[in-house]
Each structure stands twice: as structure tokens, then as C-alpha cells.
């Protein structure tokens, strides 16, 4: 029996969350056809994700049967960010979760016994067209990263990889990033927040980067790529005490999923239409990220150093324990 959580992003700006982070969270819909033969032998596994382009491989892998092949009966639940997913994994509601790398470093910094178990998504490294960007109105007066100083900038959560990357890029441009006011706005609401002057600029990821430019907003910086061309943006993680056999099965299924997704962009775009309400024309134009199967430790160490500099981390993590 195969399960998949297909949740909607209404009109690209309103996220409808049916997954949640407490123990009575509803599971996603069963995409199988009843009690199929052998389903009793599958291990039920719930994974918390954000419904964006970054997580397409796990949906692809579920659809392709890679998790069933490894003996996993997969349920996908959604949340707005790693700040909600991390506690759900720690509490045991989810066996695995998806989060940006810096949120996981912060969790480890706070003493949570977690570890990254699979690579997930990385920047394309293209500073002229990447999958994550800061966008603003054409008449905002913000033409370069330095112009973000003193402005209000939104992200789906604060104190994580997005504002750290932006701060680094702004400081590299010779401005003072400490004067930026970062506020939390979910990705689906960010375009409207900019258009309505609730914020001066917004950090968004695909499909919202393309949706923003289609709506007439302009890109200020592709901050991930500008920060580091090999930046690992997010990872799948679990408690350090996760069952070793289950971990091996999950890692094997994720490797197949990531490899397939990276080699089949059309399949990625198609499946994104099943868990987002994204206009097909937008899906055809979005910039897909890279889906690596291994971590780039150097970029992670660079991110951690920046996070320490900006007070997001007290100390750089022990990557020998945090990475697989």
C-alpha cells in the first residue's frame, strides 16, 4: 500500500496545510487500491516536508515505487518549514523530516540528538538564474544586494539559511546587513506581501521565484548561488537513535529518488502539479534545483561559519556526527 500527501497551494499564494506536527496529525491520502498483497510486510514511515520544488524527489520516489521496493509504506505530511518539522521528528510523530541545513545545525546546537541522513537539494550555482531568490517591486529602489540594508525582507522562517545567506551577500556587497529587518512570511504569501508593501523584499524558492517574476517582481539576488555555488540547501534528517535497518532502507530509497529526479526534470515538473496548485505555464518555466546524493561538506562548513558570525549558532557543529 502506497501513501502520498498531495496538498494544494491555492492560486500560488495560499498554502493549505493538511499535515501538522502533533501526534494526532491526519495522514495523507492512500494512493493505493486497498489492502494490496504484501502490504502487511511494509514498514509505515511518515516524512515531514515543505511542498516546494525542493521536495519533489520524495514524491517522485513514492510514485515510482522506490520506497515500496525498500519495504517502506510512505506517508508524506507537509508543514511551512523546518521549524515545525524538527519538533515533529523529535517527538516521534515523524520518522524522518526535511529541513534547511542551518535549521538542523541550530537544532543540534540546542542539544537535540538529530542527524542528517540524506542529501536533498542544492543550488544550481547559477548566479543569473537559480531556484531561490530575493524579489522586490520594480519601483522599490532596491536594485542590488547592498540596497537591502535598512529594508524589511521576508522569509518562510527567520534565523535560518535564507537570512544568513542574504546577510552574507549584503555584507559582501559592502553594506551593513545588521540593519535588515527579517520577518516571517510563508512562501505562498510572500508575493502578495511584497505587492502590498507589507515587506520591501522577499526571499522565495521555486515555484514562487517564477511566479514572482511572472507577476512583475524583479530579482535582487539569487542569494544561494551568490553565497556559494555548491551550497547544500536542505537535508532529510532523523533522530540519531533511528533504527539502523530502517535508516538504510530510507537512504536507499532516497538515493534512487534523487538520482531519478535529477535525471528526469519533466517528471519533476509534472509531479509538482499534484502537490501544488501551480499554473502549468509556471511549472514549465521554473528553475529546478540540483538534487545531489552526497553532501558538499565545504559549503556546509562555510554556512556554519557565517551563522556563527551572525549569532544564529553559538558554535560550529561537529560535522562528523551531524552528517552521514
Q: What are phi and psi of 108, to 5 degrees?
A: -65, -35
Q: Please indicate, yes or no, if residue 2 is contained in any of the structural domains.
A: no
Which residue, 208, 227, 246, sits at the end of a domain? 227
**Residue 176: its pLDDT value, please?**
98
Alpha carbon distance 110, 61 (integer Å): 32
Using DSSP, state whether 246 is helix, strand or coil. Answer: helix
Q: Are residues 21 and 108 in the same domain?
A: yes
Which residue, 185, 200, 227, sits at the end of a domain? 227
Look up the domain containing 57 and give its range.
9-123+230-322
Q: Are residues 22 and 118 in the same domain?
A: yes
pLDDT in tens, the chain (324 residues): 443 333 333 333 333 333 332 323 333 334 344 444 345 699 999 999 999 899 999 999 999 999 999 999 999 999 877 778 999 999 999 999 999 999 999 999 999 999 999 999 999 999 999 999 999 999 999 999 999 999 999 998 898 899 999 999 999 999 999 999 999 999 999 999 999 999 999 999 998 999 999 999 999 999 999 999 999 999 999 999 999 999 999 999 999 999 999 999 999 999 999 998 788 998 999 999 999 999 999 999 999 999 999 999 999 999 999 999
The gap from C-alpha 37 to its chain's centroid, in whole angstroms, comes to 34
Q: Please indicate, yes or no, if residue 58 is contained in any of the structural domains.
A: yes
Q: Are residues 14 and 154 in the same domain?
A: no
Alpha carbon distance 64, 62 (integer Å): 5
Q: Are residues 164 and 300 in the same domain?
A: no
Helix or strand run (H / E) with residue 204: strand 201-205
Q: Are residues 109 and 138 in the same domain?
A: no
Helix or strand run (H / E) with residue 208: helix 208-214
**Residue 157: its pLDDT value, please?**
86
Alpha carbon distance 58, 47 (integer Å): 9
Q: Are residues 85 and 102 in the same domain?
A: yes
Q: Is the pTM of this model over 0.95?
A: no
Which CATH number goes with the domain that contains 305? 3.40.190.10
Which grid cell is 182?
Answer: 527579517
Amino acid at each position: 500500500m502506497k501513501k502520498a500527501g498531495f496538498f494544494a497551494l491555492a492560486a500560488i499564494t495560499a498554502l493549505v496545510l493538511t499535515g501538522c506536527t502533533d501526534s494526532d496529525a491526519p495522514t495523507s491520502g492512500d494512493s493505493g487500491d486497498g489492502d494490496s498483497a504484501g502490504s502487511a510486510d511494509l514498514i509505515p514511515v511518515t516524512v515531514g516536508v515543505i511542498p516546494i520544488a525542493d521536495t519533489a524527489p520524495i514524491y517522485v520516489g513514492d510514485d515510482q515505487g522506490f520506497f515500496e521496493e525498500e519495504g517502506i509504506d510512505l506517508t508524506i505530511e507537509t508543514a511551512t518549514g523546518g521549524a515545525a518539522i524538527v519538533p515533529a521528528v523529535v517527538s516521534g510523530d515523524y520518522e524522518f523530516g526535511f529541513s534547511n541545513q542551518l535549521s538542523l545545525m541550530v537544532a543540534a546546537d540546542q542539544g537535540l540528538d538529530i542527524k542528517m541522513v540524506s542529501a536533498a537539494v542544492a543550488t544550481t550555482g547559477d548566479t543569473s538564474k537559480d531556484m531561490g531568490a530575493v524579489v522586490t517591486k520594480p519601483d522599490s529602489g532596491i536594485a542590488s544586494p547592498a540596497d537591502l540594508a535598512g529594508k524589511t525582507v521576508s522569509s518562510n522562517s527567520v534565523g535560518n539559511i535564507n537570512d544568513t545567506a542574504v546577510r552574507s551577500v549584503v555584507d559582501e556587497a559592502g553594506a551593513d546587513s545588521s540593519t535588515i529587518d527579517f520577518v516571517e512570511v510563508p512562501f505562498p504569501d510572500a508575493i502578495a506581501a511584497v505587492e502590498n508593501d507589507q515587506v520591501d523584499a522577499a526571499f522565495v524558492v521555486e515555484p514562487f521565484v517564477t511566479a514572482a517574476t511572472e507577476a512583475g517582481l524583479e530579482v535582487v539576488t539569487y542569494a544561494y548561488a551568490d553565497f556559494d555555488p555548491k551550497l547544500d540547501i536542505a537535508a532529510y534528517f532523523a533522530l540519531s537513535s533511528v533504527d539502523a535497518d530502517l535508516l538504510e532502507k530510507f537512504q536507499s530509497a532516497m538515493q534512487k529518488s534523487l538520482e531519478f529526479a535529477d535525471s528526469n526534470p519533466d517528471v519533476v515538473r509534472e509531479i509538482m502539479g499534484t502537490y501544488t496548485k501551480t499554473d502549468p505555464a509556471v511549472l514549465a518555466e521554473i528553475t529546478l534545483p540540483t538534487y545531489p546524493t552526497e553532501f558538499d561538506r565545504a559549503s556546509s562548513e562555510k554556512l556554519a561559519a557565517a551563522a556563527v558570525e551572525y549569532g544564529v549558532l553559538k558554535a560550529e557543529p561537529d560535522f562528523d556526527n551531524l552528517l552521514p
